[in-house]
Structure 1
C-alpha cells in the first residue's frame, strides 16, 4: 500500500484552510493543467531541445476569473510564434457564463426575485454592475450568434424539431415564450444540434422563420422530419420543406388518442392496441393490423374512435421507409430524444423563474446547446 503524504500543495491548502482553501487548490490545479497543455501544444517542455517543437513559451499573464468558489487569479501561459490559449478557460464555461449574465441582467434591471442576490453571490462571487453586464453580454453574444448562424455543410438525414415554453418579461408583462429547437441525425448516425430560436409563440410565421433560417444556412439531404402535429409547425413545414416526408411522433399520437376514447375503462385497451400497431416489424403489417383494429371498434359502435385511428395513426408510419433496422426505427419514431433534452435544459434554467427578456433566454439556451453539440461530437458511439 502506498504511503499517504500531505506534501502535495493542493492537499496542504485544504488541510491548512479547510473549505476556504478550495479556491487556492483550484488555482494550483488549473495553473498546472494550463502549463502541461502548453507543453503539449508546443511539443516540448521548458528548455527542452526537440525537433518536433512548434513554438516557444513566453512567460505567463495574470487573469482573474470568477467562479462559484470565489475570484481566482490564474497564471495563463503565453507562447511566442504560436497560437495558443488554454482550453479550460473556454470549454465547459459557456453555460455558466450565460447563467451569470442572465442573473446579472435581472439584478441590474430591477426585476429580480428576492433570491437573486443570494444566487448571484453563489454564482459570481462578486457584486455586478451594469457596465460589467454590458461587456460580458457583448462578448458572449458574439460567440453564440456565430454558432447559431454557422453554415450547415453536412447533409442531414433526419430533422427533429420541438418547442417548449419559458416565462419571459415583455412590455411589463410576464408571458409564455416559445423556445424552438432543431436537432439532426447525420448519415453516419451521429446527432447534431442544428439551431435554436426564441419566438412569441408556435404560430406558423415563427416556425416558418425558423425553418427558413435552417434552409438558408444550408440544411440539405433531408429524408424525414419528426415532430408533433402542432398546426403552426405543420403549415410552416409544408411551406418550407414541402417534399420531405413527415413522421408524426408516435408518443404524441398515443396521447392524442385519449380525446377519442369514449369510455375511461377502455383507455388501457386502446393504448395497448396502438402500441401493438406501432411495434409491427413492417409498414404492411402495421397497416393490416390498423385496418383490423379500426374495424373491430367500428363494429362495437365506436365509429369516432375508428375514424380517428384510420386518419391519424398512419402519420406515424413514415419511419418504416427511412429507418434501416428496428433499433433505428425505435429511436426515430418519436421526439423522445428532443423531449429528454428539453428536460435537461429545464434543469439548468429552473433557477430563473422569469427571464428579463428574450435575449437572455436565447443566450442561455444557445450556450447549453453548444455544450450538448460538443458532447455529441465527442461520443465514441453513433446514436443510430
Structure 2
C-alpha cells in the first residue's frame, strides 16, 4: 500500500480496498496517507498562489532580480491526531513562502485528519464528501476509502455505548425517532431510542442509543435493564412522550422513579381532534388543567372541561388525558422553575431534530451500526449546544435536594 498515492492522486482504485481496521492508523495507515495527500496538494496550491502574487508585484522590466519560482521540496514531520506524518513541503527560490496550512515552525497539524469525519457528521454522504474533496483539493478519494475512515469510529461508538454511567440522574428525558434501516434485505422504519439525562451539576449527557423495529414493553425493559447494568441505580424523574408500555417498564426497573408525560405532546394530540376555529378555546380550557396549583385543582379543571360543550363536540380529548392522568399530574407537586423543566420533552426534541437533520440525506442505512455511527458523530458535532447547563439549575437542584432528600446528591 506504500506509494498508493503519487503526486496527490491514488495510483489505482484498489488502493482503498481490502484494508483491515488496523490499517487505518499507524505509519502506513489509510488515514495517514489521505492526510498526507490532501496536505501536500493544498500546500502546492498555496505556493502557486504565492508565486502568482509575487509576479504581480514584481519590479519593472530591466531590474536584475529574477522572478521567484519553485525550488524543490523539503521534508517535515508533523504530528496529527492519529500519529506522525512526513510531508514534502514545497519551497520557493527566494525563501519567502510561509504556508498558511502549516507554518514554517509549526509541528502540530491542525486537526486536518478530522475534516472528513466532521463533514460526515454534518450529514454529507460519502459521495458528497468525495466530490467536495476533489473540488477543493483535486484529490480523488473513493467512497470506499472515506467509508473506511468513518468506520474507524465504530470502536469508539461501541465503547461509548457500553461506558459506565452515574448511579443517579435527577432527570432523564426519553424519546424515540424513526430511521430507515435495511434488515434481512428489507428496509424497515426502525425506532432509535434516545435517553438524554440531566446530571447533578445541571449539564446534559446522552446515555445511549437503542434500535428496535417495534416499540413496546419488552423493548423498554431491555433499554432500562441496559441502564441498570451500566451502573444506574436511580432516576428521580423520567419524562416521556406517551410511549406505550414505558411507564410500566420504568416502574419495574426503577420503582421510586416518578414518570411524567410530556404535556406539550398531550396538548398537540388534543389539538389534532379539534377544528381550527375551536383550537384556541380548547387550548384555553386545557391550560386550566396543567397550570393548576395542585393535582386536586387540576382534577376539578379537567372535570369542568368534561362537562363542557367542547368536550361533547370532541369526545376523544378528555379520555386521552384520563388514560395518562397518573403521569400528567406529578409535575404539579413542584414549584414553577421545576415545572418548566419537566412538563415537556422539548430538550430531547431539540436534540432529535439535529439527529434528523444529519440522517435526512441518507435515505436508508445498510445496518444498525451504520446508523449508530452517523448519529454518534452528529451528537459529537453538536455537543456544545445540547450539553450546556440547564437554565435556573441552581434553583431546581435546591428544590430537588429538599423533595428527594437522600436520593439526590448535589454536585
The reply to whether residue 240 of structure 1 matches residue 264 of structure 2 is no
The reply to whether residue 224 of structure 1 matches residue 237 of structure 2 is yes
Q: Check conservation: 1:249, 1:333, Cα contact below 8 A.
A: yes
Partner of 2:368: 358
> Deviation at 1:119?
4.6
The reply to whether residue 127 of structure 1 matches residue 137 of structure 2 is no
Partner of 2:205: 192
Q: Check conservation: 1:294, 1:309, Cα contact below 8 A.
A: no
Partner of 2:303: 291
1:270 to 282, 285, 301: 282
Q: Can you list the C-alpha shifts for 1:272-317, whole angstroms capped at 9, x where unaligned?
A: 2112322234444333323333343599687665454444455322
**Helix, strand or coil at the partner of 2:378:** helix
Q: Can you list the C-alpha shifts for 1:61-119, whole angstroms capped at 9, x where unaligned?
A: 4379xxxxxxx8899987xxxxxx9884688975545579x945xxxxxxxxxxxx345
Q: Can you list the C-alpha shifts for 1:225-273, whole angstroms capped at 9, x where unaligned?
A: 1111121434433433344211011012112324665x66533311221
Bigger CA radius of gyration: 2
Taking structure 1 as reference, are residues 269 and 376 closer, same or farther at Cα in structure 2, changes over 3 Å only? closer
Unpaired segments ≥5 residues, structure 2? 1-42, 53-75, 89-100, 394-411
Taking structure 1 as reference, are residues 188 and 135 closer, same or farther at Cα in structure 2, changes over 3 Å only? closer
The reply to whether residue 213 of structure 1 matches residue 213 of structure 2 is no
Q: Give me the whole-angstrom Cα distance separating, in 2, the residues matched to 1:289 and 1:235.
A: 27
Partner of 1:26: none
What TM-score comes out, normalization by structure 1 length?
0.65
Q: Give me the whole-angstrom Cα distance separating, in 2, the residues matched to 1:350 and 1:17.
A: 43
**Helix, strand or coil at the partner of 1:187:** coil
1:346 to 347, 356, 364: 356
> Deviation at 1:150?
0.9
Q: Give me the whole-angstrom Cα distance separating, in 1, the residues matched to 2:272 and 2:317.
A: 9
Taking structure 1 as reference, are residues 223 and 133 closer, same or farther at Cα in structure 2, changes over 3 Å only? same
Q: Check conservation: 1:63, 1:75, Cα contact below 8 A.
A: no
**Helix, strand or coil at the partner of 2:265:** helix
The reply to whether residue 249 of structure 1 matches residue 262 of structure 2 is yes
Partner of 1:62: 86
Q: Can you list the C-alpha shifts for 1:128-180, whole angstroms capped at 9, x where unaligned?
A: 3657744652x311111111211112520111110111122222222211111
Taking structure 1 as reference, are residues 311 and 209 closer, same or farther at Cα in structure 2, changes over 3 Å only? closer
**Helix, strand or coil at the partner of 1:226:** strand
What TM-score comes out, normalization by structure 2 length?
0.61
Taking structure 1 as reference, are residues 259 and 96 closer, same or farther at Cα in structure 2, changes over 3 Å only? closer
Unpaired segments ≥5 residues, structure 1? 1-8, 19-30, 38-58, 65-71, 79-84, 105-116
**Helix, strand or coil at the partner of 2:168:** coil
Q: Give me the whole-angstrom Cα distance separating, in 2, the residues matched to 1:231 and 1:61.
A: 53
Count of residue pairs the alignment pairs up: 310
Q: Can you list the C-alpha shifts for 1:177-226, whole angstroms capped at 9, x where unaligned?
A: 11110011123322221111222232333222222111111123311111
**Helix, strand or coil at the partner of 2:169:** coil
1:337 to 347, 351, 354: 347
Partner of 1:153: 166
Q: Check conservation: 2:354, 2:378, Cα contact below 8 A.
A: no
Taking structure 1 as reference, are residues 359 and 257 closer, same or farther at Cα in structure 2, changes over 3 Å only? same
Q: Check conservation: 1:63, 1:76, Cα contact below 8 A.
A: no
Partner of 2:291: 279
Q: Give me the whole-angstrom Cα distance separating, in 2, the residues matched to 1:299 and 1:258.
A: 12
**Helix, strand or coil at the partner of 2:362:** coil
**Helix, strand or coil at the partner of 1:188:** coil
Superposition pairs for residues 298-309 of structure 1, below 5 Å? 305-309=317-321
Q: Give me the whole-angstrom Cα distance separating, in 2, the residues matched to 1:207 and 1:17.
A: 64
**Helix, strand or coil at the partner of 1:222:** strand
Q: Give me the whole-angstrom Cα distance separating, in 1, the residues matched to 2:337 and 2:147.
A: 47
